[in-house]
Amino acid sequence: MTDTIFIRGVVIHARHGVMEHETEVGQRFVIDLDLSADLSESSRTDRLADTVSYSNVVATATAAFKDANYKLLERAAGAVADAVLAAFPRVNTVKITVHKPHAPIAAIFDDVGVILTRSRG
Protein backbone atom coordinates (compact mmCIF):
# COMPACT_ATOMS: atom_id res chain seq x y z
CA MET A 1 0.00 0.00 0.00
CA THR A 2 1.38 3.42 -0.93
CA ASP A 3 -0.13 6.67 0.22
CA THR A 4 1.06 10.19 -0.50
CA ILE A 5 1.70 13.26 1.58
CA PHE A 6 2.09 16.36 -0.58
CA ILE A 7 3.39 19.82 0.21
CA ARG A 8 3.11 22.52 -2.45
CA GLY A 9 4.60 25.95 -2.91
CA VAL A 10 7.34 26.20 -0.29
CA VAL A 11 9.06 29.48 -1.14
CA ILE A 12 12.77 29.75 -0.34
CA HIS A 13 15.30 32.47 -1.12
CA ALA A 14 18.64 30.86 -1.98
CA ARG A 15 21.83 31.50 -3.92
CA HIS A 16 21.88 28.69 -6.47
CA GLY A 17 22.93 29.11 -10.07
CA VAL A 18 25.74 29.20 -12.58
CA MET A 19 25.74 32.98 -13.10
CA GLU A 20 27.75 35.12 -10.67
CA HIS A 21 24.82 37.40 -9.80
CA GLU A 22 22.72 34.36 -8.86
CA THR A 23 25.19 33.38 -6.16
CA GLU A 24 25.67 36.96 -4.96
CA VAL A 25 22.09 38.18 -4.77
CA GLY A 26 20.14 34.94 -4.81
CA GLN A 27 16.58 34.50 -5.94
CA ARG A 28 13.23 32.95 -5.15
CA PHE A 29 12.71 29.22 -5.61
CA VAL A 30 9.53 27.23 -5.07
CA ILE A 31 9.60 23.62 -3.93
CA ASP A 32 6.88 20.96 -4.14
CA LEU A 33 7.23 17.63 -2.35
CA ASP A 34 5.42 14.32 -2.76
CA LEU A 35 6.21 11.71 -0.13
CA SER A 36 5.14 8.10 -0.56
CA ALA A 37 4.60 6.30 2.72
CA ASP A 38 2.30 3.74 4.29
CA LEU A 39 -0.20 5.90 6.17
CA SER A 40 -2.51 3.06 7.16
CA GLU A 41 -1.52 3.17 10.84
CA SER A 42 -2.00 6.92 11.23
CA SER A 43 -5.28 6.76 9.34
CA ARG A 44 -6.55 4.46 12.10
CA THR A 45 -4.86 5.89 15.21
CA ASP A 46 -5.08 9.66 14.52
CA ARG A 47 -1.64 10.07 16.16
CA LEU A 48 1.09 12.34 14.80
CA ALA A 49 3.68 9.83 16.00
CA ASP A 50 2.32 7.33 13.44
CA THR A 51 2.85 9.55 10.40
CA VAL A 52 5.30 12.08 8.93
CA SER A 53 5.15 15.63 10.29
CA TYR A 54 4.59 18.12 7.45
CA SER A 55 6.24 20.82 9.54
CA ASN A 56 9.36 18.72 10.08
CA VAL A 57 9.52 17.85 6.37
CA VAL A 58 9.41 21.53 5.42
CA ALA A 59 12.12 22.38 7.96
CA THR A 60 14.34 19.54 6.70
CA ALA A 61 13.80 20.41 3.03
CA THR A 62 14.43 24.11 3.62
CA ALA A 63 17.64 23.47 5.56
CA ALA A 64 18.95 21.06 2.91
CA PHE A 65 18.10 23.47 0.09
CA LYS A 66 19.84 26.41 1.76
CA ASP A 67 22.75 24.42 3.25
CA ALA A 68 25.09 25.18 0.33
CA ASN A 69 25.16 27.23 -2.85
CA TYR A 70 24.72 24.82 -5.73
CA LYS A 71 25.31 25.60 -9.38
CA LEU A 72 22.62 23.20 -10.59
CA LEU A 73 18.99 22.78 -9.55
CA GLU A 74 19.53 19.06 -10.00
CA ARG A 75 22.06 19.07 -7.14
CA ALA A 76 19.91 21.27 -4.89
CA ALA A 77 16.91 18.98 -5.45
CA GLY A 78 19.10 15.93 -4.82
CA ALA A 79 20.23 17.39 -1.50
CA VAL A 80 16.59 17.81 -0.46
CA ALA A 81 15.69 14.26 -1.52
CA ASP A 82 18.66 12.80 0.36
CA ALA A 83 17.84 14.79 3.51
CA VAL A 84 14.17 13.80 3.52
CA LEU A 85 14.93 10.12 3.05
CA ALA A 86 17.57 10.24 5.79
CA ALA A 87 15.35 12.05 8.29
CA PHE A 88 12.06 10.21 7.76
CA PRO A 89 12.27 6.41 7.75
CA ARG A 90 8.52 6.11 7.05
CA VAL A 91 9.04 7.78 3.64
CA ASN A 92 9.70 5.22 0.90
CA THR A 93 9.89 7.57 -2.08
CA VAL A 94 10.26 11.32 -2.37
CA LYS A 95 9.52 13.40 -5.45
CA ILE A 96 10.96 16.92 -5.37
CA THR A 97 9.97 19.62 -7.83
CA VAL A 98 12.09 22.77 -7.76
CA HIS A 99 10.74 25.76 -9.68
CA LYS A 100 13.10 28.57 -10.65
CA PRO A 101 10.67 31.26 -11.82
CA HIS A 102 13.35 33.91 -12.38
CA ALA A 103 15.93 31.80 -14.18
CA PRO A 104 18.26 33.87 -16.38
CA ILE A 105 16.80 32.73 -19.69
CA ALA A 106 16.52 35.11 -22.65
CA ALA A 107 12.86 34.27 -23.24
CA ILE A 108 9.41 34.80 -21.82
CA PHE A 109 8.38 31.70 -19.88
CA ASP A 110 5.98 30.67 -17.15
CA ASP A 111 8.17 28.26 -15.23
CA VAL A 112 11.34 26.23 -15.36
CA GLY A 113 12.75 23.67 -12.99
CA VAL A 114 13.55 20.07 -12.26
CA ILE A 115 11.71 17.07 -10.88
CA LEU A 116 13.66 14.33 -9.11
CA THR A 117 12.26 11.10 -7.70
CA ARG A 118 14.34 9.12 -5.25
CA SER A 119 13.46 5.90 -3.44
CA ARG A 120 14.86 4.23 -0.40
CA GLY A 121 17.31 1.44 -1.20
CA neighbor of 97 nearest in space, from 12, 13, 37, 34: 34
Q: Which of 66, 71, 95, 100 is catalytic?
A: 100
What interhelical angle do 54-66 and 73-87 show, nearest 10?
A: 140
Beta strands of 1-121 (E only): which ranges? 3-14, 27-37, 91-99, 113-119
71: annotated active-site residue: no
Active site amino acids: 100
